[in-house]
Structure 1
Amino acid sequence: MHPEPDVAPPVSADAELADLARRVREGVGRLNWRMRAERDPSGPGPAVLAVLSRLYRAGTHTPTELAEAERLQPQSLTRILAWATERELVTRTPDPEDGRRSLISITPAGLAVLRDYSARRERWLATALEATLSPTERQLLKLASDLLVRVADA
């Protein structure tokens, strides 16, 4: 028996496409990490922000639905919801169809926290774009961002 080589299979038979995939992944990943660093360190953490964002985008959820959608363990979600409920960022109401379940919704205060987080990141990004890119490069990035959304929605 020969040990398997420690090499990942090729991403694509097309080397240029594989290089593009790697570059996009790296760029998007680094930008995501950098933008996350713009959050208020005394504010909610990434998991709370993800839950608030899910509730804003997709509406009211049961705790089970939230845990599955955000790929969280139920115990982790319980802590997140307790923290967010204590700060009145979410509400928990009985499910009218099944009294054993509860429904979680974002509150106006939760929406304000989410909007502040988004605005803080977008301010940083706008400043970085202005300082780093030429007007032509910004136009190219605008086109590329539309393409990234199309790829994400595929």
Structure 2
Amino acid sequence: MPDLTQGDDAAAVSALRSSVMRLSRRLKHQRVDESLSPTEMSVLGTLALCGSATPGELARKEHVQPPSMTRIVALLETKGLVSLEPHPEDRRQKVVRQTERATVMLEESRRKRNAFLAHLIEGLDEEEWARLRAAAPVLEKLAHL
């Protein structure tokens, strides 16, 4: 692997970082429920992707401290987006599950963000769209490394 901190490679890494961050910010503003913070949306997305989890497991997955996750879960519960149930093996723990209301909201949010992104993509020519389609699996891999 070449040294990605020098020359053209470093410039490409910087451009990729900047463009991914800018696009991410624009997509984050395409929310269905403006009362939810990006962190709350992220927690709901994690629950949708991974299924129910304890607050501690969610804290690790979201890279936040457990007391912060406890507050986030409490807010989501107040908004009717998650429910807390007894842990099947450890009565001291609770399991966080997303509610049907959260599922519907996440689906609407995904539709809105997909429509926004599709609108942006319409501004690309065929060659640019083909390159972006080809890059999607690579970006997905980077997101999960």
Q: Do they superpose with TM above 0.5?
A: yes
Residue 60 (structure 2) pairs with residue 29 (structure 1): no
Q: Distance in 2 between matches of 1:80 and 1:153?
A: 23
Q: Rate the CA distance shift 1:136–1:12 in 2: closer, same or farther, 3 A.
A: closer
Query: Secondary structure at the residue paired with 1:133?
Result: coil
Render the CA deviation track for 1:13-46: whole Å, top value 9, x for unaligned.
5422212211111111110011111114634211
Q: Match of 1:8?
A: none
Deviation at 1:118, TM superposition (A): 1.4
Q: TM-score, normalised by structure 1?
A: 0.83
Quick one: which amino acid aligns to residue 126 of structure 2? P
Q: Which residue of 1 aligns with 2:89?
A: 97
Q: 1:104 to 1:16 in 2, by over 3 A?
A: same
Residue aligning to 2:135 = 144
The number of residues matched between the two structures is 143
Is structure 2 residue 35 aligned with structure 1 residue 53? no
Q: Secondary structure at the match of 1:100?
A: coil
Distance 2:16 2:61 in 1: 25
Which blocks of at least 5 consecutive residues in structure 1 are unaligned? 1-10
* 8 Å contact from structure 2 (residues 32, 108) kept in 1: no
Q: Map Cα deviations across residues 104-137 of structure 1 (whole Å, 9 max, x no partner).
A: 111221111111111111111101111x211221
Alpha-carbon spacing, 1:68–1:150, altered in 2? closer, same or farther (3 Å): closer
Give identity over the alignment, percent.
Answer: 31
Aligned to 1:74: 66
Q: Does the CA contact (< 8 Å) of 2:56 and 2:69 recur in 1?
A: no
5 Å matches for 1:124-143? 124-130=116-122, 132-143=123-134
What 5-or-longer segments of structure 2 have no aligned partner?
none
What is the match of residue 57 of structure 2? Answer: 65
TM-score (normalised: structure 2): 0.87
Supply the distance in 2 between the matched residues of 1:103 and 1:18 (Cα, whole angstroms).
44
